[in-house]
């Protein structure tokens, strides 16, 4: 079973920040938080990942709480092309098969 809990759906106005929450209360010390998204009819796309520090790249920012039991993916200026299903996944990075176990994700609808 997936180890994360996400809201089923969210809306965001175009140009505004989209904040997608994820709960992972049973995360282990050696597990990373990964975010992927799947735009309709495409394969999943990697967004960002982190262990305990906040991370930022050209696509998004990842904020992980100090106790690591939850995180938030931030898309700073959402566009219509960001409409997708967003998956939060916890994954052991080292000494693991590297497999990703997907939950149900959050469907983000960006509206004009």
Partner 1 sequence: SAVISQKPSRDICQRGTSLTIQCQVDSQVTMMFWYRQQPGQSLTLIATANQGSEATYESGFVIDKFPISRPNLTFSTLTVSNMSPEDSSIYLCSAVVGAGNTEAFFGQGTRLTVV
* Tokens 């140009």, residue located: 15
Give 23's strand partners. 5, 70
Closest CB 14 distance from partner 1, rounded Å: 26
Closest CB 27 distance from partner 1, rounded Å: 15
Q: Is 105 in the site for partner 1 (CB under 8 A)?
A: yes
Return the DSSP state at 108. E
Q: Is 104 in the site for partner 1 (CB under 8 A)?
A: yes
Q: What is the 3-state secondary structure (H, E, C) of 15-56?
A: CCCEEEEEECCCCCCCEEEEEEEECCCCCCEEEEEECCCCEE
Closest CB 12 distance from partner 1, rounded Å: 21
Q: Is 9 in the site for partner 1 (CB under 8 A)?
A: no
Q: Which of residues 27-56 bind partner 1 (CB under 8 A)?
A: 32, 34, 42-46, 49
């Amino acid at each position: 079973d997936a180890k994360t809990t996400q809201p089923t759906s969210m809306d965001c106005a175009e140009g505004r920040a989209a904040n997608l929450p994820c709960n992972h209360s049973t995360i282990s010390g050696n597990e990373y938080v990964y975010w992927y998204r799947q735009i309709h009819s495409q394969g999943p796309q990697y967004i960002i990942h982190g262990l305990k520090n906040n991370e930022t790249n050209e696509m998004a920012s990842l904020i992980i709480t100090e106790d690591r039991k939850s995180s938030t993916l931030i898309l700073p200026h959402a566009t219509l092309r960001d409409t997708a299903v967003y998956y939060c996944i916890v994954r052991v990075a080292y000494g693991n098969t590297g497999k990703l176990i997907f939950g149900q994700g959050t469907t983000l609808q960006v509206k004009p």
